[in-house]
Amino acid sequence: MFAAADRRADNDSDNDASHASTLILLRHGESLWNRENRFTGWTDIPLTEQGLTEADAAGKKLMASRLQPDCIHTSVLSRSVQTAWHIQEQTDRVWLPLEKSWRLNERHYGALQGMNKDTASALFGRDNVCLWRRSFSGLPPSDENAPAVLQRDPRYRHLRLNELPMTESLCGALMRLMPYWIGRIQPQLDEGKTVLVVSHANLLRSLIVLLENLPETATERLHVPTAVPLVYRLDAGINIISKITLN
């Protein structure tokens, strides 16, 4: 589907267990707008007290499973960063620098951002909203002012206007991620490291489709709960050896 898939190798040396790495995918804990059933996207919304508790619990699960990360990646959104901080505390990795990238942000929900999901269904039709939320290529209505507004934020000031979204599908979010995946995360996996990626539900749904070589229609059924670690053991070709969920 994308360039990273080319790394899946066929020869036996790539499947040597001695080159295995660990990838941990984690959605942030519950945010205030999760609780209020609102579309969040790139809006910077903090965790609730429940979300902080979930983040601590996720860190304790990783520690109990002896999964202390060598590298931690997050988006530049507070709910992801806050979750990563709590993971660091619970896994004795406070000293480890966080690697933050806008490319790990949630998919941009365009004109839906901030809107209650039930209100959006009433306004645009339940079938349309379901398509935008669950399908791989569904594109929510655009917010044409979003790039200019985002560029005033110091987190995105270095980006060109045409790099900043008005809206995104899951496919678009995955394409936005790929340069960071190939340039930063994949090399760490190549070194056999344990890599933790703390991100967002839709970004992770799209990444799971790529990692597991699933059909695009699989996104309609994929659900990524808050703060539940998904652990992949990968060979040197980024093929999955094993997959466990730390419920």
Instruction: Enumerate the active-site residues.
Output: 28, 106
Amino acid at 109: Y
Could you tell me the two tokens for 115?
Answer: 């809107």
- For the sheet with 230-234, list strands across it: 98-100, 71-74, 194-199, 21-27, 230-234, 240-245
- 3-class DSSP state of 100: strand
| Angle between the N-to-C axes of helices 170-180 and 201-211, in degrees from 0 to 180, rounded to the nearest 10 | 70
Could you tell me the two tokens for 195?
Answer: 């890599």
Alpha helical stretches, state H, 41-95: 49-64, 78-90
Strand partners, 77: none
Q: Indicate the burial class of 163 (C-beta count within 10 angstroms; 0-12, 13-18, 19 or more).
A: middle
Of 221, 107, 218, 220, nearest to 172 (Cα)?
Answer: 107
